[in-house]
Amino acid sequence: MNAQRAIVFDFDGVIVDSEPVHEDATRRAARAVGLDFPHEKYVEEYIGYDDRDLFRAIARDHGRELTPSELTDLRRAKEAFVQEMLHAGMAPAWPGSVELVRRAKEAGPIAVCSGALRAEIEPVLSRLAIRELFGVIVSADDVSKSKPHPACYELTARNLGIAAAACVAIEDTPTGATAARDAGMRVVGVCHAFKPEAFRGIAHATFASTSVMSVAGLLSV
């Protein structure tokens, strides 16, 4: 990969198997204020949202609108639960993901573009001994609009100093893949949570898992 190409990794569901942590933390926070949701709803609709849009959607599905203070309280409660589980080691790396990050870094610039909070991303990357490999990390803290809005990927390209069209984004959800596509990036869907057909018309290619990806294969998409 030359200096004009970059690989951009989503975090949850691509580098680490953390979606169960986020679902459980969201449910625990929501139930405390009389809200709930089934697993199917989380997978089919909520997964891929940042916490702001996530709790707004859950409340809306119960006919409620959250006040700013209620939203802040829910986000803080969820974050506390997430940190508790992350510190307990409940978000392992997906098989092959750490190795893929290392190989991608050897080939050229890499970045993380995630709807998670920086406080969730940085400690896990450090635990996996790959934090120092990422020159750019864009998190939910850095943008006001979450995936599927392309703002996070647009910011990632700007921070990399590389045209979006020269970036390849790896996403595990159609929501995230839409954000990367609309930012002008090449998009690869990794089918850790969704079947390949869920990415049809969005991603330029799909792979069964990070364990079967190669840098050459990503850059040929």
| CATH tag, 6-17+91-219 | 3.40.50.1000
Please say whether the dihedral angle defined by the alpha carbons of residues 218, 215, 192 and 121, taken in this order, is positive or negative.
negative
Higher local confidence (pLDDT), 146 or 187: 187
Residue located via tokens 């910011």: 155
Give 19-87's CATH code, choosing from 1.10.1200.10, 1.10.150.240, 1.20.58.220, 3.65.10.10.
1.10.150.240
Strands ordered across the beta sheet of 205-207: 136-138, 110-113, 6-9, 167-171, 186-190, 205-207
Contacts of residue 10, Cβ cutoff 8 Å, sequence gap at least 6: 112, 113, 114, 169, 170, 171, 172, 173, 176
pLDDT greater than 90 at residue 86: no
Instruction: Give residue limits of the domains in the chain.
Output: 6-17+91-219, 19-87
The pLDDT confidence band at residue 89, using thresholds 50, 70 and 90, is confident
Dist CA 129 CA 124 (whole Å): 9
Q: What are phi and psi of 12, to 5 degrees?
A: -65, 125
pLDDT greater than 60 at residue 2: no
Q: C-alpha angle 8/13/18, rounded to 5°?
A: 125
The pLDDT confidence band at residue 3, using thresholds 50, 70 and 90, is low
**Whole-number pLDDT of residue 57:** 96
**Whole-number pLDDT of residue 129:** 97
Contacts 24+ apart (CB under 8 A), 59-66: 59/35, 61/37, 62/34, 62/35, 64/35
Mean pLDDT, the chain, whole residue set: 95
**Whole-number pLDDT of residue 19:** 87
Q: Where are the beta strands (DSSP E) in the chain?
A: 6-9, 110-113, 136-138, 167-171, 186-190, 205-207
Q: How many CB atoms lie within 10 A of CB 213?
A: 22
Q: Which pTM does this prediction carry?
A: 0.87
User: What number is the average pLDDT over the span 178-190?
Assistant: 98
- Per-residue pLDDT tens digits for 156-169: 999 999 999 999 99
Q: Are 193 and 172 in contact (CB under 8 A)?
A: yes
